[in-house]
Chains A and B, each alone.
Chain A
Amino acid sequence: MFLIKKNDVLKLAQELEKSYSVYGPVVEKESGQTFLAKVDNVTDIDLNAPIPSLPPKNILFPQIEKIIGYKYDQSSKNAEIKMLVVPEAKALFGIRSCDLAGVQCLDRFFMGQEFVDDVYLEHRKKTFIVANTCTAPFAQCFCACTDSGPSAKEGYDLNLTDLGDVYLVEAGSDKGKELCEKMGLEKSDNSHLDAKVKVVDKSLDLFEEKAVENKAWISRVMNRITTGFIKPEIWEYIGDQCFECGACSFVCPSCSCFNIEDFNKQNGTTERMREWDSCSYEGYTRMAGDHNPRKPIEDRRNKRFFCKLSYSQSQKYLRPGCVGCGRCAWVCPGDIGLPNVVTYVRREITEREINE
């Protein structure tokens, strides 16, 4: 465990810049929105900026990405194929704990099961992660309900916590430790760890006052969603409000569904693209032969929340799929961000219990 002076914290990013492309929270001036952007100058990084509009998913698993290119020559009957993904080494500097939990979900989906996704692996194995403890929640946060904050417990190379004059720098990997040692950072002692516990406790205390937009007591809902013991009317009520835009999937740190499209270019070559997909689309579950197991919109919504909140899905992620960032509630044209859905389901559970 190490310490770095508050004013020097971006020196970590400077050091990383030598071996990585550094991505950090930067506020886009005209729109006032934060993005995890590739930085030309590390001083653009604002560690106090609100959580970024898009999670780091966009860097490890881009919205649209060329995977391979191929060209078929009819006369020689030869096909030329080449890999187009050449991920650079990336440092994600100052990501929030909820977003790190999202990266872990993606890791377990793309790399932790029987089939390993080569493209994601390429991105991921060259990634250095610096997490940043939230000393206070933002209005939409509910990581306290999903066990993913306000400070990261695992999965980082370095974890920063603002202790006032200094940042506590916890190393979570050998390469994290090496970096700190190389920079000659001062070692921390137990008093700093105690101070961190206080910071985290205070941040949790602040939820009542600051994190006012969303609450999601997910544990009871997980039980119902896992057993399917929820009235169909509740799903219809939710489905009626779905505008089928796909936004919830796109902004979700743990949503990993994608589509593959072979894009035939005018010059005769083809690019195989991978792009984000969403279970809210009717075409997403349509099978050859036109059968669609989830044609009605309420069935498609039901699937999304099963993915985020069921016990069986959590076994794959080793945690709930929802990481409590609150972005789905920002972008939903209906009113069915995950926290609201949790409320609707809980309301139904309560009504049912009262009636019984």
Chain B
Amino acid sequence: MNYKPGICNFCGTGCGHLLNVDNGEINGVFASRNHPVSKGRLCVRGWHIHELVRSDDRITAPKIRKNGKLESVSYDEAISYAVEKMKGIKKPSEELGFFASPRSSNEENYLLMKLARSVFKTNNISIESESGQRNSLDVLYKGTGMAGMLGSLDEISKAEFIFVVGTDITKQNPIVGSEIHMAARNGATVVTLCSRKSQIAKLSDMHLQCNAGSKKIVLAAMAKSLIENKLYDADFVQKNTEGFEGFANSLGSLSDSSVESLTGLSLDDINSVVKKLSQAKTAMAFFSSGISGLDADTISYIYNLFVVAGKIGKEGCGVNPIAGIANLQGSYDMGAAPDLLTGFQSVKDQDAVKKFNKAWGSDVPAENGKDVYELLAAKKLKGLVVVDHDEIIVRQGDALKALDFVIYFGAFNNPFTEYADVVIPIGTYVESDGTFTNTDRRVQLSVKKVEPIDGIQPGWKVYTMVADKAGAKWNYNAPAAVMAEIASVTPTYAGISYDKFKGIGGIQWPCNDKYPQGCKRLALDDVKGKVKFVPVTANFKGPEKNDEYPFLLMTGKAQHFWHQNNLMRRTFIPMREYNATLLLYPNGYIEISPADAKNIQVRDRWPVKVVSPHGSMKVTVKITDDVKSETAYVPYFIQNMVSEFLMEHKELLEQGEDAIIPVRIEKV
């Protein structure tokens, strides 16, 4: 049989697929019909993953930079050199950093994390700044003790009410979008809160097209309406929660009149949505947790709204952040964060640390580490270990050049290698076994499909070789043995082992004695104490535009333009689709409404200058009904130009999807 089951490795949906493997070559892909999430569907990216894994744009040998040039050496020589460099660091807590990849398998990320903490004595390990995902996990953990999606993707069909906040979900995680659409076709009420007319907004029963940057206010107004009209689930709140009064009080300062003016929505519309939410027996909320995800305050409002409505901890219910990258959830589960061990255990949790010290035979550093951006900003960093990246970090080129050394692990050739002193190749995800944890906590085994290219070792083995060279004796014979160790130190993964991965669909954590086959959703009786309302600010100021800067500029991703296209550019069809837009809009585009285009006196694809208080950029206009008048939208995929402009607004961008920049648009 030349079709082999596996897991799609692009976004965090974790769809099932089968790869057509013939003579060691991957010649095609087909959707897995019995997969509980994807049920026979794939998106444009998933249908072309064979193009990516066929790419021969690979790092084919370990390399060391000699006289400014990377020269091929043996694994042993490259690893010895790398270990010598890392061992030479005097104060690893300040001078050494690890930058993990949200595409690596759980086993790889666990071992990298163990390498950083137990062998090289630093907690400085982080992943690409997916702040939205961390914000989501923090809020859900604070509220329920569960640092992951509270519901389950295979229960979307059981939700009577589905609330999509912000995300362009049919483009970013198409199969989750599809599942929502199918639920709507079967009678569920779908409401989208988004300033743009996204596809899911068009497919919704109701689109709350709020003013740019006012989602939080809409959410607060919904919660307020729910409480004031006594439509909330008082029984649930009384029995299962604490902190209700505090939350209710924080809504007090929001006046009805300001809601209408700040959000651009009528109270009637908001109230009718609230009524539907209250009448539904089951409800789910979805929001993107990626780089353009929401800020912690907005996520807290979504969470609190669903707690007050009594829509968590039941079948068909949940507050569900949607991860944009294959193993983003898994990376946090594996402790690829400066303050976290595996399973969201804190570096400050003495019991947890004791357990790790014992398991590893080595002490975990006591103090929280720093993420790579903090380390670069502190300017004390000397060495950086990077896995499989070429994204935003490349913008920090000057800071990277100033480092004593950069060690790069990865499968594909990558601009990042230009900064590297040592390059150590690892296999791709089809060349060894490994597990990946998708956005609904589903740990899935992806088995080896093809032999690695000549002499290349899988990541788990390479990290083991590094540890051995540094004097630690790690005796893993296979990824399954790494998972056994993960299970032994991670309560949420305690019951997971490779033996259990039979058939299709993986295991959703928590998996332990109580849930030997995993757990679909938050169980209220597992919550320590009561479910907590998460503290929110009562700051209801919307972004302000004025005569000088009359437009509110939103930022976001678009379907084929994905994480600077590190992966997409190794494919053919998705690459062509990317180029189609790039050819039409070679320098990116800014979406404005037809009315605004008339005012500015521009036609489609004419250039304009976008000016903010902090900077300006020249860009082409795309005229569309998708944005309201006096708002504009920029997809952030064009690295060289839009990003630089956006980087001038770093602090604003920390607000994620709701980051709004007031701008003026001038005809050039």
Binding site for B on A (CB under 8 A): 26, 28-33, 35, 37-38, 44, 53-54, 58, 62-64, 240-241, 243-247, 250, 259, 261, 263, 265-267, 273, 275, 277, 281-283, 286, 290, 330-335
Contact = CB atoms under 8 A, between A and B. Distances in A.
A331 B44 CA distance: 12
A28 B41 CA distance: 18
16 contacts: A31-B3, A33-B3, A33-B32, A35-B30, A37-B1, A38-B2, A53-B30, A247-B47, A266-B56, A282-B577, A282-B581, A330-B33, A330-B40, A333-B41, A333-B181, A335-B181
B44 A246 contact: yes
A281 B44 contact: yes
B177 interface: yes
A32 to B, nearest CB: 6
B174 interface: yes
A138 B416 CA distance: 52
Contact of A265 (B27, B56, B202, B504): B56
B20 A26 contact: no
Interface of B: 1-3, 5, 16, 18, 20, 27-34, 40-44, 46-47, 50-51, 54, 56-58, 60, 170, 174-175, 177-178, 181-182, 185, 199, 202-203, 503-504, 559, 572-573, 576-577, 579-581, 583-584
A314 B3 CA distance: 33
Contacts of B203: 240-241
Contacts of B3: 28, 31, 33, 35, 37, 53
Given A275-B572, A330-B33, A335-B182, A62 B28 contact: yes
Contacts of B33: 31-33, 53, 330
A194 to B, nearest CB: 38
Contacts of A333: 41, 43, 174-175, 177-178, 181
Contact of A283 (B5, B30, B34, B579): B579
A64 B27 contact: yes
A332 B400 CA distance: 45
Contacts of B56: 265-267
A331 B41 CA distance: 5
Contact of A247 (B41, B170, B177, B181): B41
A30 B577 contact: no
A245 B559 CA distance: 11
Most buried by B among A243, A290, A330: A243
Contacts of A35: 1-3, 18, 30
B559 A244 contact: yes
Nearest to A250: B47
B410 to A, nearest CB: 15
Contacts of A28: 1, 3, 5, 18
Given A33-B33, A35-B2, 14 more contacts: A31-B16, A33-B30, A44-B1, A53-B18, A63-B50, A64-B27, A64-B51, A240-B199, A243-B199, A245-B42, A263-B572, A281-B44, A286-B580, A335-B182
A240 B572 contact: no
Nearest to B176: A333
B1 A26 contact: yes
Given A244-B559, A283-B577, A31 B177 contact: no
B1 A240 contact: no
Nearest to B43: A245
B177 to A, nearest CB: 7
A117 B185 CA distance: 42
Nearest to A281: B577
A28 B50 CA distance: 19
A277 B51 CA distance: 13
Contacts, number: 136
A232 to B, nearest CB: 15
Contacts of B18: 28, 31, 33, 35, 53
A23 B504 CA distance: 25
A245 B504 contact: no
Nearest to B60: A266
Max chain B Cβ within 10 angstroms of own Cβ: one of A37, A275, A277, A334: A334
Contacts of A63: 20, 27-29, 50
A152 B579 CA distance: 43
A24 to B, nearest CB: 11
A224 B469 CA distance: 73
A250 to B, nearest CB: 6
Contacts of B31: 53, 247, 331
Nearest to A333: B178
A277 B572 CA distance: 10
A267 B453 CA distance: 14
Contacts of A32: 33-34, 504
A292 to B, nearest CB: 8
B5 A243 contact: no
A243 B30 contact: no
A19 B50 CA distance: 31
A30 B503 contact: yes
B434 to A, nearest CB: 17
B178 A243 contact: yes
Contact of A245 (B1, B20, B47): B47
B182 A243 contact: no
Given A30-B504, A243-B170, A64 B50 contact: yes
Contact of A261 (B29, B42, B572): B572
Nearest to A334: B181
Contacts of B42: 245, 247, 331
A240 B202 contact: yes
B28 A58 contact: yes
Contact of B40 (A38, A265, A281, A331): A331
A32 B178 CA distance: 23
A29 to B, nearest CB: 8
Contacts of B58: 266
Contacts of B34: 31-33
B6 to A, nearest CB: 10
B174 A62 contact: no
A259 B199 contact: no
A266 to B, nearest CB: 5
A64 B573 CA distance: 11
A275 to B, nearest CB: 6
A286 to B, nearest CB: 5
Nearest to B29: A63
A243 B202 contact: no
Given A63-B50, A64-B27, A281-B573, A245 B174 contact: yes
A133 to B, nearest CB: 24
Nearest to A54: B30
Contacts of A273: 572
Contacts of B54: 64
Contact of A275 (B1, B30, B573): B573
A250 B583 CA distance: 26
A62 B27 contact: yes
A58 B22 CA distance: 13
A54 B596 CA distance: 48
B583 A31 contact: no
A283 B559 CA distance: 13
A130 to B, nearest CB: 20
B212 to A, nearest CB: 23
Contacts of B580: 282-283, 286
Contacts of A246: 44, 47, 573
Contacts of A335: 181-182, 185
**Residue among B3, B41, B178 with max Cβ neighbours from chain A (10 Å):** B3
A277 B44 contact: no
Contacts of B504: 30-32
Complex A-B, nearest 6 residue pairs according to Cβ-Cβ distance, in ascending order: A333-B178, A63-B28, A283-B580, A283-B576, A261-B572, A333-B41
B303 to A, nearest CB: 28
A344 to B, nearest CB: 12
A31, A53, A250, A275 pick with most chain B CB within 10 angstroms: A31
A197 to B, nearest CB: 34
A333 B27 CA distance: 23
A28 B579 CA distance: 37
Contact of A290 (B28, B175, B584): B584
